[in-house]
Amino acid sequence: MKIVVIGTGYVGLVSGTCFSEMGNTVTCVDIDKEKISNLKNGIITIYEPGLTQMVQTNTENKNLSFTTDLSSVIKNAEIVFIAVGTPMDEDGSADLQYVLKVASSIGQTMQNRLIVVNKSTVPVGTADKVKSAIEKELKSRNVTIDFDVVSNPEFLKEGDAINDFMKPDRIVIGASSEAVFAKMKQLYSPFFRTHDRFITMDIRSAEMTKYAANAMLATKISFMNEIANICENVDADANKVRLGIGSDKRIGYSFIYPGVGYGGSCFPKDVKALKKTAEDYGYEAKLIGSVEEVNNSQKLLISKKIIAKFGENLTGLTFGLWGLSYKPGTDDMREAPSIYTIKELVKRGAVVRVYDPKATKNARDFYLKGIENIFYCTSKYEVLKDSSALILLTEWKEFRSPDFEEIKKQLKFPVIFDGRNQYNAFSLEENGFEYYQIGKK
């Protein structure tokens, strides 16, 4: 098929590349000339395992190309995906300005019948707005061209997006035409063999499915974190409680690890947007509001433990920190717990030495830009120099089995604050460490 993907951010680039991997002819479009120039030269500005090689391979075999000129490629397209950002607005709602600008551009340039697919995460009712924007432009051109608007939410995990796309656990399609369902099934058939993974529904239900899925996962995280906080107060062990409840097949082990809260581009934004959507339709989403409140508090938990140990005034103290990204396998720092922890320590006079395998540049250039008393290190052991304690906030693989003797040797005090409960508390305490984790005194 001939496919156009508008937007070369995380979702757009991964989607377009994976479609091209299956033999489709894909053109990715973006208004950012520098980004398109880089992509043409095989330079990927986001970190996602396997993506760079796949982009380069499909560019070389002519299945994948990049342009800033929508009009030059839309005339031959069968399906156009909208995959631009929907950042959070001031009131918590999803900002649809970029989606609707793209819809207008499609209406201004389309020449033949199209299926227009919303791949961006958008609130219920967005398909209607996209349809209206396209119709308005067609009317101004005094032309009549048939088109369909489809909702096709993405369910990609950063750090494992290629695998998620190539081997999906489900494909959700919201449409109003059997012909469109058939066309979308033809497009996605190479990615799955069992038909029950292709789920069709009305457009608004598909739009809701994405938010509901992310809100459910965020709820599991906040629920377990709240249980962990209770465990600390009653002198129970949250890790053992997790094992006890996760063995129940109705609950399962996924997303019930105690920690310092969720971050990233999806959960924080989508939970807020769903809460705002409910408000707009006259409903107070109490549970979803509580999920957000628990998560906001959880991001400050490690800094509170540090302050309880070392005091409110941290002047003269240095802390080594492992992990800046909100999760392993990505350089994404949006709403990362590390941001909150570092800011709390620095404003109390502390110096923080940090290391992350992939997110250092994002931290230095954007998320922690201008904040003093942060030193960026090139290895995990370098951060220990002059540090009074080690803080772990992202569970990268290289942090899982460190040399604890080396850690003890370099730290001023044998103290570890573990925001991801990665280590064996008994073993560390037996070897003279003070070990602070989530959900256990």
Q: Alpha-carbon distance 113 to 249, whole Å? A: 47
User: Does 334 count as an annotated binding residue?
Assistant: yes
User: Does 156 count as an annotated binding residue?
Assistant: yes
What tokens does 59 get? 């560019």
8 Å CB contact between 356 and 396: yes
Contacts (Cβ under 8 Å, ≥6 apart) of 400: 422
What tokens does 28 get? 């990715």
User: Does 210 count as an annotated binding residue?
Assistant: yes
Instruction: Tell me if residue 324 falls in helix, strand or coil.
Output: coil
User: Does 269 count as an annotated binding residue?
Assistant: yes
User: Does 343 count as an annotated binding residue?
Assistant: no
- Spot the catalytic one: 18, 231, 266, 377: 266
8 Å CB contact between 71 and 109: yes
What tokens does 428 get? 């560390």
| Number of Cβ atoms within 10 Å of the Cβ of 135 | 15
Three-state secondary structure readout of 21-55: HCCCEEEEECCCHHHHHHHHCCCCCCCCCCHHHHH
Q: Alpha-carbon distance 234 to 10, whole Å? A: 43
Residue 103: name the closest of 126, 128, 133 by CA: 133
8 Å CB contact between 114 and 73: no
Residue 271: name the closest of 295, 247, 235 by CA: 295
Q: Tell me the pairing of strands 147-151 and 374-376.
A: unpaired
User: Does 168 count as an annotated binding residue?
Assistant: no
Q: Alpha-carbon distance 277 to 108, whole Å? A: 30
User: Does 81 count as an annotated binding residue?
Assistant: no
Phi and psi of 201, rounded to 5°? -165, 180
Q: Which amino acid is it at 61?
A: N
User: Does 418 count as an annotated binding residue?
Assistant: no
User: Does 309 count as an annotated binding residue?
Assistant: no
Specify whether 18 is catalytic: no
Contacts (Cβ under 8 Å, ≥6 apart) of 191: 18, 22, 165, 166, 167, 168, 171
Supply angle C-alpha 283, 286, 290, rounded to 5. 145
> Is the dihedral angle over the CA atoms 324, 160, 100, 209 positive or is it negative?
negative
DSSP assignment, residue 440?
A: B
Residue 227: name the closest of 216, 240, 217 by CA: 240
Binding-site annotation, residues: 30, 35, 86, 121, 155-158, 210, 255-259, 263, 269, 327, 334
Binding-site annotation, residues for substrate: 155-158, 210, 255-259, 263, 327
Binding-site annotation, residues for NAD(+): 30, 35, 86, 121, 158, 269, 334
Active-site residues, by number, are 266
